[in-house]
Amino acid sequence: MSSVKMLISWLAGCFRKSREDYKNINKSMQKSLKFRDYLVPLVLSGEKDSTWRLFDDKDLQTGDKVELINWNSKEKFGEAELIKAMEKKMGDLEEADFDGHERFESNEEMYKTYRKYYGDSVGAETLVKIIKFRLI
């Protein structure tokens, strides 16, 4: 084997990661859910066991274990396991989707609330990820 090929082979080995390496990397990059101050007591009491997220950049999935973070103080206040994660359009939400979640007087009030967090593009066609969780 030429010295160039040996060098390339050695370098490739240095950067090659096994499936187990990637699992360990993922474990060290803990996913989190952030909640506003006023929601923290509701989460801790179990009254709130559902949250909705738009534009899920964390790829939250059923079975994930997540840290619960106070959005205002940035402090961790607990951990949870996601027992259900599903997506649907905001305009298709049903009564059952509100179980364990705060309610709104109207769809327009709901859109207005989420526009504060996510911007003006929130409406009936916006996908929402409905997440049920349990404290661990």
For 58-109, the pLDDT digits (tens) are 999 999 999 999 999 999 999 999 999 999 999 999 999 999 999 999 999 9
Which residue range forms the structural domain that includes residue 110? Answer: 30-135
Number of domains in the chain: 1
Within a domain: 7: no
Q: What is the CATH number of the domain that holds 87?
A: 3.10.400.10
Within a domain: 51: yes
Count of other CB atoms within 10 angstroms of residue 60: 18
Within a domain: 126: yes
Within a domain: 106: yes
Within a domain: 118: yes
User: So what's the pLDDT on residue 28?
Assistant: 46
User: So what's the pLDDT on residue 1?
Assistant: 60
For 6-50, the pLDDT digits (tens) are 666 666 665 665 555 545 545 545 899 999 999 999 999 999 999
Within a domain: 8: no
- pTM, whole model, 2 decimals? 0.75
User: So what's the pLDDT on residue 14?
Assistant: 59
CB burial string 92-131: b at 16+ within 10 A, e below? ebeeebeebbeeeeeeeebbeebeeeeeeebeeebebbbb
- How far apart are the two ends of the chain, measured CA to CA in Å? 55
Within a domain: 18: no
Instruction: Report the distance separating Cα 130 and Cα 114, nearest Å.
Output: 14
Within a domain: 13: no
